Structure 1
């Protein structure tokens, strides 16, 4: 059996392009962790970083016959990860800009269309979960999140103790986190 650890990048790519799965495994073993750390350093998010690296390797595996490197393998992989990171930043900026502008217009030919549709779906899902809250919890949550009132102001307006308001807010956040899942909940918190 061949020892692929002794092959350089050029030899591995040649073998990989010819369909040698063991060459791909060696490429993955060499670059998976460094690419993940690179992505994590840029994004600060473990799941997004892992997904990006997996996407790059999946694309490479699915396109091995047509892969045409104009640079070194490591340069290609890092550049691919960086491009995906830019796409993540672009996506987040599109969502933020769309939410800030309050736009309801979608250009069908735009590259941003898919992102905007997803953002609208997420917003609708969040609104449904807020509407499903018990009335008292929903009122407290809406005063806090939509009118930006403090717990003290909410307690004065509703005539309840401030500790009750704080308890309702904690329950509302727990409800949203449970119903929406952690990822959507965090996106919602960051963008609100």
Structure 2
């Protein structure tokens, strides 16, 4: 007989999630996907951005489930995570708007935040910090790709895993960087890498 997960408390689900129980994750997703999406949509006014935010929050939860240490309730934690990502979107949209609407040159930027985001050294430091925070396998694959310039096929052969797994991990790593750094910094990093 299947365990009735829908009757479990958030606390019990979190415990089971931490131990790698996929059914617990599924129940958390079913329980919070819609309310979190509506919350994000209300803040952002964009269905696509709201859906991306929710997917990122749940992807992060799944990737870091063994290390989750809730200082609040599960719902409080999830709503805080969504709000944090929404603020990041707003913050970086403002940075991008500043470039799009004003004729600023890099030296004329008054905003300290924007100014420090532009400095190449700082961008690299920020990126390195985020790479260090990636799950170990993702970090290893991303490093082989970005620093050793290996192809997906070469990485797959070296690590003894499927090429599709490598492609998925690279995609997740790039999305992780886009989410954590914001699209403006991420683009500058990509441009400066070449």
Give me the TM-score of the superposition, normalised by structure 1: 0.58
Q: Which has the larger radius of gyration?
A: 1
Q: Which residue of 2 aligns with 1:115?
A: 184
Q: Which residue of 1 aligns with 2:88?
A: 87
Structure 2: state its 5+ residue gaps: 107-117, 127-180
Q: Partners of 2:40 and 2:183 in 1: how far apart? A: 23
Once structures 1 and 2 are overlaid, which stretch shifts more, 86-95 or 103-112?
A: 103-112
Q: Partners of 1:117 and 1:13 in 2: how far apart? A: 32
Q: Which residue of 1 aligns with 2:103?
A: 102
Give me the TM-score of the superposition, normalised by structure 2: 0.57
Structure 1: state its 5+ residue gaps: 122-192
Q: Cα 1:87–1:68, aligned 2, differ >3 Å: closer, same or farther? A: same
Q: Cα 1:80–1:10, aligned 2, differ >3 Å: closer, same or farther? A: same
Q: CA RMSD in A?
A: 2.2
Q: Which residue of 2 aligns with 1:14?
A: 15
Question: For residues 2-81 of structure 1, what are the structure 2 equivalents within 5 Å?
Answer: 2-81=3-82
Q: Cα 1:41–1:88, aligned 2, differ >3 Å: closer, same or farther? A: same
Q: How many residues align?
A: 120
Q: How far off its partner does 1:107 sit?
A: 1.8
Structure possessing the higher relative contact order (Cα contacts under 8 Å, 6 or more residues apart):
2
Given that residues 35 and 81 in structure 1 are in contact (C-alpha distance below 8 angstroms), is that contact kept between their aligned partners in structure 2?
yes
4+ runs deviating over 4 angstroms: 110-114
Q: Partners of 2:186 and 2:65 in 1: how far apart? A: 32
Given that residues 92 and 183 in structure 2 are in contact (C-alpha distance below 8 angstroms), is that contact kept between their aligned partners in structure 1?
no
